[in-house]
Amino acid sequence: MGQNPTDYGSAPDLRVALGPLRLANPVLTASGTFGYGLEFADFVDLSRLGGVVVKGISLKPRPGNPPPRLAETPSGMLNAIGLENVGVEKFLTDKLPPLLKRGAVVIVNILGNTVEEYAELARILSGASGIAALEINISCPNVKEGGMAFGTDPRMAAAVVAAVRANTPLPLITKLSPNVTSIADIARAVVEAGSDILSCINTVSAMAVDPFSRRPKLANVVGGLSGPAVKPIAVRCVYETVRAVSCPVIGIGGIQTALDALEFLVVGASAVQVGTANLVRPTSSLEIVDGIERFLRRQGLAAVTDYIGTLDTQCRFPFADESCPVETA
């Protein structure tokens, strides 16, 4: 007699569909925390991940900001790397081919200082084979508008997405910034402009100082805060975004364990990206895949889609079922 797929111990189906993007599981790596993917290939079987989002790519190489560019904070990390990257030409010749050979689902994060730069990047990358999707970083400063970040204004955010959409048939993910009054307003604007998927959140604008030297800990003074400290902000942003738009949402922010990832999934995210945890424990992303699978088995769920978006908004005690632990090393 065959085993019921929901019996304890049976392998659940981890596949997710994010609009036109199909993934083997809901765990991806976040841009800027996993290099070009190849740096982690000795630690992680890249083909087992839902996807690898490479560090942001610009038209021309960028040297980034002067050091110090990183600073540890309580339960988090500040960074002001300055979007250092090799540029699109070198990415296509030196980084993409070996990444594809390892079986990775490759998502390219793109950035620019003008709408035209985003559009040109989309055109160039669409001519390469093997790229699964583009993720648009709209947290970059628009030099034509005096340096205001594209992602803080619905009109400017929509202009970027519309230009990229006009230059690529690839699935589009737009990465939203939490440094706004209403993330829902930005979400609606970029979806209307042609984004298939949203990812949120990018880092939270923050700074740290040394009281003895009286100097900032980053040469750039202000940087982006990531890590466990931002997770409650990120979960709230995903919750609001899912209710504002009908497209799939990817949750990002402070995910260290499978339980962290499950918080995002239950509020409605269709997938998650693992970021700062990669810098602490290179195998984090795969451990989270395995932890989600164990959780679903113990919950008697046949598929991860049976869990996504099932939040019960009534707050009751106890919060957790102690009979169903998830090991999250």
Active site residues: 140
Q: Which two tokens stand for residue 179?
A: 């440094």
DSSP string, 30-63: PTTSSTTSGGGTTTS-GGGSSEEEEEEE-SS-B-
Q: Check: CB of residue 206 under 8 Å from CB of residue 225.
A: yes
Strand ranges (E), the chain: 16-18, 21-23, 27-29, 51-57, 70-73, 76-79, 106-110, 131-137, 172-176, 197-200, 204-207, 209-210, 215-216, 222-226, 249-252, 271-274
Q: Check: CB of residue 27 under 8 Å from CB of residue 285.
A: yes
CA 150, 155, 157: angle at the middle one, nearest 5?
A: 35
